[in-house]
Structure 1
Amino acid sequence: MAANLSNPKLTVSVNDVEQQTTLELDHKDEKFDYSKRSQWLRAAVLGATDGLVSTASLMMGVGAVKHDIKAMILTGFAGLVAGACSMAIGEFVSVYSQLDIEVAQIKRDKQRENQNGVIQTQQLDEEDEETLPNPLQAAAASAFTFSLGAMVPLLAAAFIGDYNVRLGVVVAAVSVALAVFGWVGAVLGKAPVVRSSARVLIGGWLAMAVTFGLTKLIGSRGL
């Protein structure tokens, strides 16, 4: 018993080991760069929010002058398809331009690092490829999340015949979805939750209100 107590290898307590493990996990979490999520997170949150707001605004604008449910649904569906294609193409072109710039910069850095002043290889290694943006991934994320966001007002209005109730349900469903999207984006990006959700929610309300109001004004003048 005395020999075991005097052995320095056995003097570390369980609490010390648990504390050290916790500190190591916290250190790893602190070292994680949340900005690495920005590429796909930006595309996903932007796509979902844009799909939600733009489709709902289109439907509210048409609903301001036409009470027919078919007109609202067709307008929303057209906005979904057109917006998803537009978001995908725009994101692909934008990220591909960024990719070309970063690849060119990496090759310039490799050339400067060569002591002999001769480029040994211009091929990118696996580590370089992992850090580069992916245009296809960004385009797919934008199109998918845009469609996902656009489905919210479409589904909210699809089964309600009464005009006033339909508009109210669309606004309510879009408001909840905007708050959720803002909350998810803030949590994944480690940003302030309340501020992020409020910013997205207020922006969506303004977009729908302006579209509804201007379309109502123009429609009332017979244009």
Structure 2
Amino acid sequence: MSNSFRVHSTSDKDVEANSDHQSEKRFDYLQRAQWLRGAVLGCNEGIMTSSILVMGMTVHIDTTKDLIITGLVGLIAGALAIATAEFISVYTQVDVVEAQNDRDRRSGRVGRAPVPSPTEISLAASLAYVIGGVVPILTALFVRPQVMRFVAVAISASFSMLGAGYFAASLGKAPVLRSCARVLMGGWIEIAILIGKRKVLESFGL
């Protein structure tokens, strides 16, 4: 009797696993692609902007109060700015897709291209901006010496970028390692460009 029970239990597990596999195959992960793109962009921008800020590359911060005020204002302004930019840019895509759908319908073509949601994407980008941007600020609050702060923020920013890459890959069922590497490398390239820009301006006394 125990053998038959074991076979029955294994069979149930196989059926359940097969059912999950079929459900995953039926789910269209392209539905997530648009807002995931906006979220990764927003998160990386938030991490990069806040990191540059608290590393002292844009303004000189002396006190904890200055750090909190500067960081909070930067987060709000950045989140609103990226939400506005995403809303405008995605609506351009919406106009093109809807115009093409109208042409296809008039010509008798079957099928309709999916229309992205500007509101959904802009909200995802702005929320991700705040989540990504708050990490370097919180890190800097607990590290006072400028050199140590630079190192601590660099480490926290790197882990945040890796987290953003893992989040995007997991929700999109994409390769995790490639996503993490791309987000990390891209984020640090952007930070290096901005630091280089600052150094060039300083060399001219600006």
TM-score interval for Structure 1 and Structure 2 normalised by the shorter chain: 0.7 to 0.9
Larger Rg, first or second structure (1 or 2) = 1
Instruction: Kindly indicate whether the alpha-carbon contact (under 8 Å) linking 2:43 and 2:132 is maintained by their aligned counterparts in 1.
Output: yes
Long gaps (5+) in structure 2: 1-6
The residue number in structure 2 matching 1:52 is 47
Q: 1:48 to 1:148 in 2, by over 3 A?
A: same
Structure 1 stretches of 4+ moved >4 Å: 13-21, 69-75
Calculate percent identity across the aligned residue pairs.
37
1:43 and 1:197 mapped to 2: Cα distance?
Answer: 16
2:159 and 2:21 mapped to 1: Cα distance?
Answer: 34
1:54 and 1:46 mapped to 2: Cα distance?
Answer: 12
Shift of 1:53: 1.3
Normalised to the residue count of structure 1, the TM-score between the two structures is 0.73
Q: 1:150 to 1:38 in 2, by over 3 A?
A: same
User: Match for 2:36: what amino acid?
Assistant: L
Number of aligned residue pairs: give it: 197
2:51 pairs with 1:68: no
1:210 and 1:61 mapped to 2: Cα distance?
Answer: 15
Long gaps (5+) in structure 1: 1-12, 115-127
The residue number in structure 1 matching 2:106 is 111
Q: 1:215 to 1:19 in 2, by over 3 A?
A: closer
2:179 pairs with 1:184: no
The residue number in structure 1 matching 2:29 is 34
- Given candidates 154, 157, 166, the residue that maps to 2:149 is 166
Instruction: Kindly indicate whether the alpha-carbon contact (under 8 Å) linking 1:39 and 1:138 is maintained by their aligned counterparts in 2.
Output: yes
User: Match for 1:82: what amino acid?
Assistant: A
Normalised to the residue count of structure 2, the TM-score between the two structures is 0.78
Shift of 1:205: 2.6
User: Match for 1:30: what amino acid?
Assistant: K
Coordinate RMSD, CA, aligned: 3.1
Shift of 1:216: 4.2
